[in-house]
Chains A and B, each alone.
Chain A
Amino acid sequence: MGFSSHAARRLMLIVPTLLGGSSLIFVLTMLIPGDPALMRLGNFATAEQLQSLRQEMGLTKPPYERYVIYLSGLLRGDMGRSWRTGNLVLEDLLARLPMSLELGFCSMLLAIAVGIPAGVQGAAHNDGLVAYGGKVYGILGVAMPIFWGGLVLVYVFYFKLGIAPPPTGRIDMLVVPPRHITGSYLLDSLLTGDLDVLVSSAAHLVLPVITLAFVTGASIARMTYTSMRKVLASQFILVGHAYGVSPRAIIYKFALKNALMPVVTLIGLQVGFLIGGVVLVEMVFSLPGIGRYAVESLLVNDFAPVQGFVLLVLVVYLLVNLVVDLLYSVLNPQVRHG
């Protein structure tokens, strides 16, 4: 099987998963106890008001009909309306997505940049300070609650040292946000050449990114360590040593290439973890991303945004894992025939 047909088949698999996922979300919202119309209008609504709102929301129709309406709405990109913000859910989500992507992407880059070297060093040197540090990081990093880590960083770098901006959003109050191009302040300010915005938004991103990357990087370090240990114990490494290849070349040229394959897959799965982390970090630092939007809606029983959020997250997660799978099949052609 060639690469393109493998890719096509893999892409086709997303469709049933998305259908199943959206059905699961639909079933869950059907299970919500209480009357959505009553929740929206409050306890002082009259019976007629309730009845007309129920009709408007389509609650009087049988479940299967509502399911069809829900699905056909999704196909048109209609995720309903949030009564908290009064906007269409899709608009709200798309306005907040760049912030979350910015945060997630930067954190993942930093996590990989820290995690893989830490794992490699831990595995390559059996003892010594570096290896020991890598190991302790691997244990403590996965044991730390993300939101707590964020709070500690805020205390140290904002309150004690005064070098970080306060945890109140993505930009300083007095700085005018850049013209909307991509929605990411970092990119937009670069494109418009606005240095003030670039510095301000970057400064607001530093602590959230470190918080998220610390925890994610620890998992990556653990995976790399385990995978690297396995490869270093295999025969071809021994042969390499026997032929007098330098230890450095063995680690970086022979072992790392082979050890990274399972790590690539696991990094894809790690994105799921990262999404949960994004939600928590956005709450800690009051960043206006999709995670905070979902939680704030959830706290006032506004479910359309939560549904939309889950669906959007599902799409992002599936796409990321698709890319990872394809990347993996490029690195390791054997899987295409699997």
Chain B
Amino acid sequence: MATAQISIPVLRSPAPPTGFAKQQATVRRASAGQRLFRLGVCITLCWLGVALFAPWIAPYNPLQGDPTLAKGGIALAHLCGLDKYGRDIFSRVVHGSRYDLFIAVTVVAFSLVVGTLLGSISGFLGGKMDNLIMRVMDMVLAFPSFVLALVCVAVFPPTLMTLVIALSIRFVPMYARLIRGEMFVEKVKEYAVAARALGSSQGRLVFRHLLPNSLTPLITQSTTNISWAILNAAGLSYLGVGLQPPTPEWGVMISEGSPFIVSGQWWMSFFPGAALILLTTGFTLLGDGLSARTER
């Protein structure tokens, strides 16, 4: 969100602010945007730390529980309660961060690579090839994204890899279009013409010269996409077509706890969901901050 954008603060009648007050207001708002961006960075880094050091942070084994304590509520020994098999929810949430972060990063990386490749070919070659690739991309974009992912996981066996590919397909056209547009602009610039005149091959021209100059909008886009990937990975797992129990993935955990909501054992689903919100909020703030910076 463009929190750093300058707007005209004339709404506060009767006395319109003078030049200095206006400047001050702008500076204050910009720093508010900055604060949110920093908050996003902090949240993301914290989760990264949790994921890296999960075995040391989690006090219990995430896969083995004590059945005698099943469905136990919040206690000092079990901060987030226990699930139906007596497994410690806090430990499972901590370990779950590994799955959700892994999915987020691989989905974006995978679609970035495939999309960039297709987009560069399309934008650089133009003509028939461009037409073909872009029509296929349009076809993919015509599907509502979650439904597309749902069909893909339906077709292939439910593994982590399937989930990643199913979620990636949606972003490929997005990146391909972005890069294609950038390529059209970059390939006629002087440095590109110079490189061509110096006799660099087409591959070298695309990957050494054009691509590095077209990447900025993609990076901004990626941070925003990560949130979507995490939420939808959890959504698919919740439906039972993503990762399977007993994996301590957050969507799986919410799904496993959902039958007990109506009998009042809220903690089984609540904490994984809260963790999910915290992580996606982190990425959303990061994305907002980055796009506000590049817009300037």
- Report which A residues bind B (CB closer than 8 A): 17, 20-21, 24-25, 28-29, 31-33, 123-126, 135, 138-140, 142-148, 151-152, 154-155, 158-160, 166-167, 222, 225-226, 229-230, 232-233, 237-238, 241, 247, 271-273, 275-277, 279-280, 283-284, 294-295, 298-299, 303, 306, 309-310, 313-314, 317-318
Contacts and interface: CB of A to CB of B under 8 A. Distances in A.
B1 A273 contact: no
B8 A24 contact: no
Interface string B136-154: 0011101111110011101
Across the A-B interface, the 7 shortest Cβ-Cβ residue pairs: A276-B146, A148-B273, A272-B144, A143-B280, A20-B139, A143-B281, A275-B144
A113 to B, nearest CB: 21
12 contacts: A28-B151, A28-B155, A145-B238, A148-B269, A148-B277, A151-B269, A226-B2, A272-B145, A295-B239, A295-B241, A306-B154, A317-B143
Interface residues of B, number: 56
A298 B147 CA distance: 12
Contacts, number: 172
Q: Mostly helix, strand, loop or mixed at chain A's interface?
A: helix
A87 to B, nearest CB: 20
A256 to B, nearest CB: 14
Contacts of A24: 139-140, 143
Given A126-B29, A145-B234, A314-B144, 6 more contacts: A17-B139, A241-B8, A241-B10, A247-B11, A295-B239, A306-B154
B143 A33 contact: no
Given A152-B270, A313-B147, A317-B142, A166 B262 contact: yes
A279 B146 contact: yes
B139 A21 contact: yes
A28 B269 CA distance: 33
Contacts of B234: 145
A226 B285 CA distance: 15
B139 A280 contact: no
Contacts of A148: 254, 269, 273, 276-277
A31 B144 contact: no
Contact of A21 (B135, B143, B154): B143
A145 B273 contact: yes
B151 A273 contact: no
B127 interface: no
A17 B254 contact: no
A279 B139 contact: no
B71 to A, nearest CB: 15
Nearest to A233: B7
A229 B258 contact: no
A29 B155 contact: yes
Contact of A318 (B10, B140, B142, B239): B142
Contacts of A160: 264
Interface in B226-267: 227, 231-232, 234-235, 238-241, 251, 254, 258, 261-264, 266
A20 B142 contact: yes
Given A151-B269, A276-B146, A283-B238, A17 B138 contact: yes
